[in-house]
Structure 1
Amino acid sequence: MLTRQFIFLCLAIFVTFANQAMLIPTIPLYINSLGGSASLAGLALFTFAVPSFLVRPLMGNACDKWGGAFVLIAGLGILAIGGLLYFIPYMAAVFAASILRGTAWGATSTGGLALLVTTSPQGRRGEASGYYNSAMTSASILFPAVALWMIHGHGGYRWVFLLSIVFGVLAIPMTLAIRAPREPTAAMRSEDGGPPQPAINRGIILAMLLNLGASIPQPAIVSFLPLYAKHLQIGDVGLFYVISGILTVVLRPLLGKRSDSLGRGPYIALGFVIQAIGFTVVFFGTTKIMVLTGAVIASFGPALVGAASMALAMDFAPVHGQGRSMATYSMTYQLGGGLGSMLAGGLADMFGLPSMYIGALVVTLFGAALLAATWREIARPQLDFRRSLPSSA
């Protein structure tokens, strides 16, 4: 698994996510320092998210034409240009940077996933997706704290912006070092010379829906847990983010590896079961220990389901449409976070904060029901999914 190409890919993704992680807590503070309001900061974050979501299908097409490395490097270059705009201390420059960086983020995310497919052995895709996700998560845990440390008396905003640009530039030679096999793209035909295979097929949609079953419930924990703790008057629950982050980074590769041997279905099922147990414990919890325990348990759901469903999408992706397939699958992360936040917030306003976890549990059960309905197709390990399912949804 730890081939030269795969190691360079994980390193490139680590520093790419470090680039973004540095700016996640910085942008709202920077806008405030320029005299902007909290709502204006939220709008700036929104202008980053929208192009990142919308350009992914286009970037998937580009991956299939020119390769994932080309798209990833192009995205990294635009990230650097967008980062330079932050040095202009005007609100218009901040919004222009958000639009540029959002477009670039759609490119880097899609290019990275396309390279993941081509650098991962078919029989070890679960393990590969585990390492890949750990590279992303570990950067997201460490570098927001580094940025805040720099802002508060150790360099200031300019050094944060400079370091984020350096991270993005460092990823370019790492990507150039990847020599992933390129497939001819002129004729999108199946491996046996049959008719062209659509990039968006039943299997990709299934992998997306299963991942949404794990990602939609998560904002109830990740975003709203501190508010729920305040409601229960149990004190600070910041320890959750440290524990769940470290455990997720360590366990994801191991869990993904097991999904290769046992099959995607059992591990996705285990993820839904663990997630349901976690939300149940949080809902009935009345003490800090119970709520923290339930939250940490629930956080393992996306670790299991995410790694296995990503590998499942890789299994379903046609040879000559992998970029478009993985670009479409990647949209579930932002979609899940957005829908989940709206669901949790809406339930909390209408029925009270505890209802968030009932809603999260219901979505989890829907995901489990979908898995049960499609169990025969995905439960067996090392199955050639593209041959076992119809080619279109």
Structure 2
Amino acid sequence: MSVGAGREPLWSRDYVLTLLTTFSFFASLFYLTTTLPDYIDDVGGAEWEVGLVVGAFAVVPIVLRPYVGRWSDRGGRKWLVRGGLVVMALSIAPMAGTGEMLALFALRLVQGIGVAMVPTSAAALMAAIVPASRRGEGVGFFGMAAGSAQMVGPVAGAWFAAQWGFGAVFVIASLTAAAALLVVQPVSEPPVGAAVRSGRSGPLLPPRAIFPASIFLATTLAFTAAFIFLPLLGKERGLGEVAFFFTMHGGASLVARPLGGRISDRVGRVPVITFGLSGMVVAMILLGSAESFAVVLAAGLCSGLGLGSTQTGCFALALDRVPYEQQGGATAVLQLAWDVAGIGAGVAFGVLASLWGVASIFWGSALLVAVAIVVLHLGRAGGLTRATPLSTPPPA
């Protein structure tokens, strides 16, 4: 499958504002990454309460996200973005005034609604805005906006806390989400698809998006395993400050997303996805055999290139494969790969570690992603990477 390389305009006002909205949302979320655990500890929370409160929001998106995708396809993309931002703004600010674990847990559950609504509907909005001939590049820069916030947000949140205290972090995060409401307001809602106008409703999970999402799932499982278990491996082998793995990963991913997207518009999605999966295999092999800090850094570089390329290619492929009026649903299916990995990787790979040691997690991850490469090319031979002409947006 090869996508045409026409040079229709990409950087429209609506596209830029959607990227800025996405960055602002993720910044408001990631401000809390480094500060919320410390805040809970500071107000007397136990270690198990830290994990419970911080991770409370993760359950909500896996249930709600498919419905957000369907509602996006029915023409509610911008409304859902704004609704999710309101939820975030109103649920983050009150955290500054309470140290009760039950209240913090409830507020994090509410934030899970925003986490389900904004990324899915904003991605669907972006998909409807970008020209089909530059879909991969558009998806890549969209991912770059979220990735930039993920790199900047935790550092900024820690700095805010050091300067003005924990309460300031919650207020600033809330104001950041509220400011995004002003950013997204001028964006023009793209037209809905013909099937929606005729009253027909597509499946909750578009079947043609499941194959790209299943390939991407292998990568999210591998990266989530690294996120959870790399600190243990580093301590076991004396590998130094393994947090720099994620710094290298983040920087490489920022480069890989737009570059991989642009290349995929020219040569097709499968070569870019194959490159990304191969990079992730190498990263996991390097971690499994790592005996030095330099190898950890090299693994971070490979992981960033791998995840950035795979996510961009799989997202663009999922959009290519479904009719325009199912692209919100396709977005939700792809993002579910993160939700499933977040819930399942710790349990599945934890069992592996208990049987054969921590290093076996990374060797197992390498094998899983290698299998995904084989499945990808078998799927290509069977027509599972073929685009549909119905993925093009209808005329305004």
Task: Tell me the TM-score normalized by structure 1.
Answer: 0.90
The superposition leaves residues 331-381 of structure 1 with CA deviations (integer Å, 9 ceiling, x where unpaired) of 11121233223233222222111101111012102211210211133667x
2:299 alignment partner AA: G
For residues 189-200 of structure 1, the aligned pairs below 5 Å read 198=203, 200=205
The superposition leaves residues 169-192 of structure 1 with CA deviations (integer Å, 9 ceiling, x where unpaired) of 111121112114222524266xxx
8 A contact 1:220–1:344 mirrored in 2: yes
Which residue of 1 is the match for residue 228 of structure 2?
A: 223
Which residue of 2 is the match for residue 142 of structure 1?
A: 152
8 A contact 1:127–1:256 mirrored in 2: yes
2:115 alignment partner AA: W
Deviation of 1:385 after TM superposition, in Å, equals 6.3
Distance 1:239 1:355 in 2: 21
SS in 1 for 2:190: coil
SS in 2 for 1:55: helix
Q: Does residue 86 of structure 1 match 2:92? A: no
Q: Does residue 254 of structure 1 match 2:259? A: yes
8 A contact 2:206–2:326 mirrored in 1: no
Deviation of 1:144 after TM superposition, in Å, equals 0.7
Higher mean displacement: 105-114 or 329-338: 329-338
Distance 1:113 1:183 in 2: 15
Q: Does residue 302 of structure 1 match 2:312? A: no
8 A contact 1:85–1:96 mirrored in 2: no
For residues 1-393 of structure 1, the aligned pairs below 5 Å read 1-89=10-98, 90-152=100-162, 154-183=163-192, 185-187=196-198, 198=203, 200-376=205-381, 377=383, 383-384=387-388
8 A contact 1:240–1:292 mirrored in 2: yes
1:384 alignment partner AA: T
- In structure 2, the CA distance between the partners of 1:87 and 1:277, relative to structure 1 (3 Å rule), is closer
Distance 1:52 1:199 in 2: 14
8 A contact 1:127–1:255 mirrored in 2: yes
Higher mean displacement: 106-115 or 70-79: 106-115
Deviation of 1:325 after TM superposition, in Å, equals 2.7
Deviation of 1:66 after TM superposition, in Å, equals 3.7
8 A contact 1:188–1:197 mirrored in 2: no
Deviation of 1:47 after TM superposition, in Å, equals 2.1
Which ranges in structure 1 are unaligned for 5 or more consecutive residues? 190-195, 388-393
8 A contact 1:199–1:322 mirrored in 2: no
8 A contact 1:126–1:257 mirrored in 2: yes
- In structure 2, the CA distance between the partners of 1:379 and 1:100, relative to structure 1 (3 Å rule), is closer
8 A contact 1:188–1:320 mirrored in 2: no
8 A contact 1:219–1:344 mirrored in 2: no
Task: Tell me the TM-score normalized by structure 2.
Answer: 0.90
Alpha-carbon RMSD across the aligned residues, in angstroms, is 2.0
- In structure 2, the CA distance between the partners of 1:281 and 1:99, relative to structure 1 (3 Å rule), is closer
Deviation of 1:157 after TM superposition, in Å, equals 1.0
Residue identity (%): 25
Deviation of 1:202 after TM superposition, in Å, equals 3.4
8 A contact 1:317–1:326 mirrored in 2: no
Deviation of 1:199 after TM superposition, in Å, equals 5.6
Higher mean displacement: 240-249 or 17-26: 240-249
Deviation of 1:293 after TM superposition, in Å, equals 1.1
Distance 1:197 1:79 in 2: 29
SS in 2 for 1:25: coil
Distance 1:298 1:147 in 2: 25
Aligned residues: 378
1:338 alignment partner AA: I
